[in-house]
Amino acid sequence: MNDFLTELYASQLGKVKENEPLANHTTIKIGGPAEIFIEPSSIENLQKTMELIRKYNVTWRAIGRGSNMLVSDLGIEGVVIKLGSGLDHLVQNGNEVKVGGGYSLISLATLISKKGLSGLEFAGGIPGSVGGAVYMNAGAHNRDISKILTKAHILFPDGTIEWLSNQEMEFSYRTSVLQKKRPGIIVEAVFKLEPGDKDVIVAEMIKNKDYRRHTQPWNFPCAGSIFRNPLPNYAGKLIESAGLKGYSIGGAKISEMHGNFIVNNGDATAHDVLSLIQYIKNEIKNLYDVSMETEVEIIGKNLQK
């Protein structure tokens, strides 16, 4: 690891930190240290980072803006790559936009709506990055990323980088091919949008954003929806019907606003959140014979879903 670090620093590929607390980089404000943390300053430098990772056979994972993620209190071994300021570019070409994987999804939805382009109104309140949204096919209000994505530019662990079409992304509910069989980092995405009345589009985006603000606890640190909807049921409604809203373990609490959100009351640990997740799973299984599956990614040392 020392040789890897020496070469990483010498290569000047971006911001590098050692033992960086990941609580600083997740929306739920939980997570132990990343052994090595790097925020590459460009796509080219991200590729060079991956070359070094392969050369020294170092474990790695990528993150964006840290939503939809629960990191172990013990942190993450190896390298954590953050897609941030070096991969937050945007190029508009008519009704198409090419966006870096580190770009804020909320910022993109706001900008595009003000330009009179429709298609991202649903994303006005989703606090993640473009890369993360494509990776998990993020959605809301009966819309999702798969409806607007033309293609995604992916860096694979073997160092190859290629464009995958919408069909090749194999989207399904909160899932893409990157989760199922081809792990990779989304460095860019191209979205096809539709022109429309700017005032109508902006109003729809604001309505969606306001709905999320009034029904979901974004004024507390949280990771977003904890469980996938076990269709035809809805996770939040099942949890609420079971009378679990407000139930807490340690510093982790089921939101009073929405049953499918767990909030950090200020001193929650990943262990608290995991214990609460397991408690919910057991209660819903016992009461309704429904198996709950987590939507939030659970990562790091000694963690299991």
Q: In Å, how far from its chain's centre is CA 204? A: 23
Residue 218 vs residues 28, 160, 174, 258, 281: alpha-carbon distances, Å: 10, 38, 20, 11, 23
Active site residue 174: yes
Active site residue 295: yes
Of the candidates 129, 146, 225, 255, the residue annotated as catalytic is: 225
Active site residue 225: yes
d(CA 175, CA 289): 24
Q: Are 200 and 224 in contact (CB under 8 A)?
A: no
Count of all residues that appear for the chain in the document? 305
Which residue type, as a one-letter code, is found at position 287? Answer: L
Of the candidates 20, 121, 146, 174, the residue annotated as catalytic is: 174
Alpha helices in 20-102 (DSSP H): 43-56
Greatest CA separation for the chain: 58
Closest residue by Cα to residue 227 from 68, 77, 54? 68
Ramachandran assignment for 207, one of left (phi > 0), alpha (psi -120 to 50 degrees), beta (any other)? alpha
Q: Are 157 and 245 in contact (CB under 8 A)?
A: no
Tokens of 279: 């408690």
d(CA 181, CA 62): 16
d(CA 249, CA 1): 37
Catalytic residue ranges: 174, 225, 295
